[in-house]
Amino acid sequence: MPSKLKQIAQLQLILTEMEEDLGIKDNSTIEKRVLLALADLSSSDEAVATNDIMDHELIYGFSRPSFYRALLVLEEQGKIRKAKSIRGFYALSTE
């Protein structure tokens, strides 16, 4: 059974790569929520503290690791950026 699960996981990995290459990979629910929370909290180009995003009601129920992973993914995708030289502040990407 574990080998069968491994094969399914491999297949899913291959198809996820295909989705990425075709540019149709969706962001996960937590990633969408983080983006929406940041958009809700930020006015103009203002930076938002990570703690404030985490306390937003859209983020309620998600674990801290999932939250930070989502921040990282969104930053890598260029949808958000670190806003200040000090850590813990994010802003929506202007690109």
Interface pick for another protein out of 15, 36, 39, 72 (rule CB under 8 A): 15
Q: Who contacts 89 (Cβ-Cβ below 8 Å, separation ≥6)?
A: 47, 48, 49, 50, 82, 83
- Does 63 interact with another protein (rule: CB under 8 A)? no
Indicate whether 46 belongs to the interface with another protein (CB under 8 A).
no
Q: Is 93 in the site for another protein (CB under 8 A)?
A: no
Torsion angle, CA of 47/45/92/71, rounded to 10 degrees? -10
- Residues found near another protein in the complex (CB under 8 A): 3-4, 7, 10-19, 21, 26, 28-29
